[in-house]
C-alpha cells in the first residue's frame, strides 16, 4: 500500500508500507464494535411493522409454545402446552375458519 506523507522539510513524499495481520484484525474489530454500539442505541425503537412468513415463540428450553404462520388459505395460529401438545389450533379456510382445542 502506498501513502503520501510530508517529510521533515515539508515536501510531500510517497512511501510504501505493509499492514501486518495484527493491525488488520484490530482495525476490523474496532469497526465491528462501532457498528454494534451504533445499533445498540436504537434498542428502544418501536417498529411500525414486522413482516415474516412465520413467527415462533419458544421457552428457555427451546420448546415452541406459539407458532404463527401462513398456510395456503390464510393465517394459522398454534398454541402448545409445556409437553408440546397442541392446545389450540386456529386457522383460516376458504370458507370461514377452524378452531380446534
Is-above-0.85 flag for pTM?
A: no
Here the cell at position 38 is 451504533
How far is CA 67 from each of CA 27, 42, 59, 75, 91, rounded to the nearest angstrom?
A: 42, 27, 12, 11, 11
Quote the distance between the C-alpha of residue 11 and its chain's center: 50
Sequential pLDDT tens for the chain (101 residues): 556 666 667 776 666 656 667 776 777 788 888 877 776 666 666 667 778 888 899 888 888 899 989 888 888 888 888 888 888 888 887 777 666 66
pLDDT of residue 95: 76
pLDDT of residue 32: 83
Amino acid at each position: 500500500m502506498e501513502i503520501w506523507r510530508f517529510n521533515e522539510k515539508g515536501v510531500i513524499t510517497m512511501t510504501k508500507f505493509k499492514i501486518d495481520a495484527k493491525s488488520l484484525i484490530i482495525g476490523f474489530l474496532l469497526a465491528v464494535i462501532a457498528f454494534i454500539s451504533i445499533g445498540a442505541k436504537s434498542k428502544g425503537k418501536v417498529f411500525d411493522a414486522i413482516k415474516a412468513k412465520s413467527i415462533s415463540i419458544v421457552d428457555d428450553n427451546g420448546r415452541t409454545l406459539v407458532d404463527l404462520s401462513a398456510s395456503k388459505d390464510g393465517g394459522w395460529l398454534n398454541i402448545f402446552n409445556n409437553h408440546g401438545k397442541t392446545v389450540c389450533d386456529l386457522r383460516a379456510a376458504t370458507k370461514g375458519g377452524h378452531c380446534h382445542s
